[in-house]
Structure 1
């Protein structure tokens, strides 16, 4: 699963429109247009995206999503980009959890709605900071099921 897939699935799950995606990118410190958003989320006849979404830009989208959902914190510094190679899935789960003000139990219920079984300790391990002794890299399966559960919850 690449960043374009993650963005497409997240947009679908939360029913985010093109104009809103452009605004979320802006809030995260990235620029973009509706045409670029469509290029990032639409596949061509060969099954490739017209514009690839790199890790930094995807993290800026996630930061912008937090700001759009929770508001701007006065006097707070701009969030540092914390993306390291290989932990995009962990980052997505953490930032969506923050943006939507979800608790660990909410996340477990969302996963359960998608018929994915995950224990509280497994969830805690994927939400930990990289480098922590109990950190566990999050696989695509968890993210797919989480986004599927979000879609079931937010779209009905």
Structure 2
């Protein structure tokens, strides 16, 4: 699963319109046009289909979504849903350092940021995953939500991320 797939699935699950996506990117400190958003979401017809490690076909898009672009969207989603964080007295406002260090940490960061943006508890996340038939223990979820480099950190695989986004769609589109 690439970043474009994550963006498309997230957009569908939360029923986000193009204009709202442009606003979220802006809130995440990335200026992007509606046309560029549509390019990020539009698949290119390819003659040869590849498969990822789990057997799913790898999709190609008009414009590749880099880790920094996805993270800007997720940061904007948090601000869009929860509001701008107020600076504490005496605290300097500085540009937030990116949490996505490499392609392996994308799913973990996405899960953490969605948890914040949608005000989900760990039980909510476990419930969303249960709805899709994926059963995870609280300690396994805790390991996925840890910061990379911590002792009990566990990488979140595409299967969990894919099913979590599917569960979000079930929960938010059926309301």
User: In the alignment, what sits opposite 1:57?
Assistant: 69
In the TM superposition, residue 115 of structure 1 has moved relative to its aligned partner by 1.2
The answer to whether 1:68 aligns with 2:85 is no
Q: Give structure 1 stretches of 5+ with no counterpart.
A: none
Q: 2:98 aligns with which of 81, 85, 93?
A: 81
Task: Answer yes or no: is the 8 Å Cα contact 1:63–1:79 preserved in 2.
Answer: no
In the TM superposition, residue 82 of structure 1 has moved relative to its aligned partner by 1.7
**Aligned pairs, how many?**
156
Q: Which one has the bigger helix percentage?
A: 1
Superposed CA RMSD in Å reads 1.1
Q: Give structure 2 stretches of 5+ with no counterpart.
A: 47-58
The answer to whether 1:149 aligns with 2:167 is yes
User: In the alignment, what sits opposite 2:144?
Assistant: 126
The answer to whether 1:24 aligns with 2:24 is yes
**Aligned ranges 1:87-98 → 2 under 5 Å:** 87-98=105-116
Query: Any runs of at least 4 consecutive aligned residues in structure 1 with deviations exceeding 4 A, and if so which?
Result: none
The answer to whether 1:3 aligns with 2:21 is no
In the TM superposition, residue 48 of structure 1 has moved relative to its aligned partner by 2.0
